[in-house]
Structure 1
Amino acid sequence: MLKALLYTTVLVGLSGQLSANETSHYQFDGPYVIQDKSAVQSASQQTAYWICNSKLTSYQVSQHSLKRPENCGNLPEPLLTDDVKQVMPDSYDGVKKVVALSDVHGQYDVLITLLKNQNIIDADNNWAFGDGHMVMTGDMFDRGDQINEVLWFMYKLDRQAKAAGGMLHLLMGNHEQMVLGGDLRYVHERYDLASKLLNRSNDALYGEDTEIGQWLRSKNTLVKINDVLYMHGGISNEWLERQLTIAEANQLFRANIGRPKAELKQDDLLSFLFYGNGPTWYRGYFSDAFTEAELDKILSYFDVNHITVGHTSQKQVLGLFDNKIIAIDSSIKLGEQGELLLIHEGELTRGLYDGSRQSL
């Protein structure tokens, strides 16, 4: 709880009423936690901004626990911590159990139901996977209308997983890169209000001066756990030709995420990493022209037996090439259901929406 909440409520004259297809749900949003640089350069404060019934409310954060203002719906009340913004290793061995899923695209309710039914979280939406590792292979942003609910939930799981001896690997997908880089074509209309009231474009709401923005910018884009390599799109032969390492790529992604597309395109290596045949956009595994011989070279390069990807939508978690490729974009973005991948001591399992499980 905060010792003192100095609320400032701003009434903004919007042009007209909410359109007919907007619900009261869209009149509530946040929190957006933004850093305020003080006159003393060594110190800074954070301000939490909430949108409550289409009005902007803010207060200066005096403790790490944020309290939602009164009459502000059921918005997240996160516990802020710098622990989740540490850059973590991108290679792990000896992990006994892993759960992986992808492409949530703001479908918070489906995400919660799936994780709860598969006992990854408990009845109160807290981490229940012990010392296991959870991999989200990108695309939390865009399309859906509960982006911030998803982000703050994953932020919480990041903290809770570490405290339990486990780990959350939040990998950056092409839609994270798009939004942070100012490509806002797929941002849901719910977030137009936040941009208007805070006088910030949607990408700036997750800028380097924000809590969520700093958290996202600390994350990897690829991670290797045991004998499995995870990323959003896939690894193409071009990666092998460039002789890149996972560590080199992750460092370049972190250093350059948020730069405009035009700038990235001017650099040959960055253009590859962020676009085209790079690991967040590549879809080659699902082409009839892609061969198992090509795949075996890629697996050998990374010394893994499996590559797990999202990005290319399926109806279920799907294994290709005798499960050497595992596709985990199970179309959660449609808002109806979804699946996840479970790996326990090498055994591959589909975790279905109803809580049941099937061997892959």
Structure 2
Amino acid sequence: MAEPVSPTTAEPAVPPEVEPVSPTAPDPAPRRSTPSRIVAIGDLHGDHAAFRAIVEAAGLVDAAGVWIGGDAVLVQTGDVPDRGPNSLLILRDLMRLQGEAAVAGGQVVALIGNHEAMNVVGDLRYVHEGEFAVFRTDESQRLRRRYYRENQEMIERVYRWREPALSEDQIRRLWLRETPLGGAELLMAWGPDGEIGQWLADNPAVARIDDTLFAHGGISETYSALSIAEMNARTATAIAARDGSPEAIINDPDGPLWYRGYFLRGEPGELALVPPADAAPEVDRVLAAYGARRIVVGHTPSLGGIRILLGGRLMAIDTGISAHYGGVRSYLEINGDAAIAHIVGEGENP
């Protein structure tokens, strides 16, 4: 999620991609033919209290945070980390709830958002100080030096994708500034062998459940030529390689983690709002490509509440839930043909 609909504050995005498909990548979330209820929650950005309040209000967990949702499906559309201090608590809740829900016949689907990808590739510019503090120990100084030494080539490559003219010394100083003590441990946790990285490897970028598509940013027409399995395979390959290149699907502004074309269009720095009716042809072609009825996305914020657009074919559920944004706590409930937008503490959102 970027700062609320301001074309000048959007996070840096980078140009398009083509990369090989990994045969070992995870399949999309299973397509359940008759889920009893789907609850979708947008960008959380480190606000664990908000997450707990929402899943409890939705009847998915009890006051202790234990799954009571039966065979319901919870979809979190990505961007758990950054901006707020308690991402790790949310991530561990999601890990635990996946197991608890499965035992009860339910499901927890945690999509990969652009901020998950940024943490994987080592872009820590939006990490809250509280996140570093969680990982900080007496060994952090030593570990940070070792991490830089062992990963210098990768670090320099990522920084030069952002700014090609940077010298080795400039990169080292920038990295140290953006990676305070505790940062090396955080990077290791998000790495392929880390607690978060191992879990993330099994998570999709795009899921279809019954006749509903879910993605963090959206599916552009460029990517609608690919199957869901292929998009997830490319994402898994890029995540495993910690690929910070502009060509990787996890960095592509037209890719499912970054796409904002349903709502904003134009050149970087000159983005303009797109009236919903203007987005309808693209949305309809994307839905037709996957035989879906609707698409649910986060990433592009609407601080007043969930927006149900185009007769219910497009649903935007990033409502700035985190205290960082000051939006509203919300969730989308899909039950059969009905889709209801809830604001926690204030009933339903029309």
Is residue 172–residue 220 contact of structure 1 (8 Å, CA) maintained in 2? yes
Question: 1:281-336 CA distances to partner (integer Å, 9 max, x unpaired)?
Answer: 11111132643122211111111110000001112111111121100101112355
SS of the residue corresponding to residue 258 of structure 2 reads coil
1:276 maps to which of 228, 253, 256? 253
1:256 maps to which of 232, 238, 256? 238
Q: TM-score, normalised by structure 1?
A: 0.70
Cα distance in 2, alignment partners of residues 291 and 181 from structure 1: 31
1:300 maps to which of 288, 293, 297? 288
Cα distance in 1, alignment partners of residues 215 and 254 from structure 2: 13
Is residue 77–residue 215 contact of structure 2 (8 Å, CA) maintained in 1? yes
Whose relative contact order is higher, 1 or 2, with alpha carbons under 8 Å and at least 6 apart?
Answer: 2
More helix by share: 2
Question: 1:198-240 CA distances to partner (integer Å, 9 max, x unpaired)?
Answer: 4252322222222322111111111001111000001112113
1:334 maps to which of 323, 326, 335? 323
Q: Sequence identity of aligned pairs in percent?
A: 31
Is residue 27–residue 229 contact of structure 2 (8 Å, CA) maintained in 1? no
Residue 223 (1) aligns with residue 214 (2): no
More strand by share: 1
Larger radius of gyration: 1
User: RMSD value over aligned CA atoms?
Assistant: 2.0
Structure 2 stretches lacking a partner, 5+ long: 1-24, 145-183, 265-273
Give how far 1:273 is off: 5.1
Question: 1:118-153 CA distances to partner (integer Å, 9 max, x unpaired)?
Answer: 222111111121101110000001110011111111
Cα distance in 1, alignment partners of residues 130 and 343 from structure 2: 30
Structure 1 stretches lacking a partner, 5+ long: 1-85
Change (3 A) 1:273 1:89: closer
Cα distance in 2, alignment partners of residues 89 and 313 from structure 1: 25
Residue 213 (1) aligns with residue 204 (2): no
Cα distance in 2, alignment partners of residues 237 and 88 from structure 1: 21
Residue 133 (1) aligns with residue 70 (2): no
Moved more, 224-233 or 89-98: 89-98
SS of the residue corresponding to residue 322 of structure 1 reads helix
1:123 maps to which of 37, 60, 63? 63
Is residue 86–residue 131 contact of structure 2 (8 Å, CA) maintained in 1? no
SS of the residue corresponding to residue 257 of structure 1 reads helix
Question: 1:42-84 CA distances to partner (integer Å, 9 max, x unpaired)?
Answer: xxxxxxxxxxxxxxxxxxxxxxxxxxxxxxxxxxxxxxxxxxx
Is residue 26–residue 229 contact of structure 2 (8 Å, CA) maintained in 1? no
Give how far 1:182 is off: 0.5
SS of the residue corresponding to residue 162 of structure 1 reads helix
Residue 107 (1) aligns with residue 47 (2): yes
Is residue 87–residue 131 contact of structure 2 (8 Å, CA) maintained in 1? no
Change (3 A) 1:311 1:342: same
Give the aligned partner of residue 17 of structure 1. none
Is residue 189–residue 195 contact of structure 2 (8 Å, CA) maintained in 1? no
Q: Return the letter of the residue paired with 2:236.
A: R
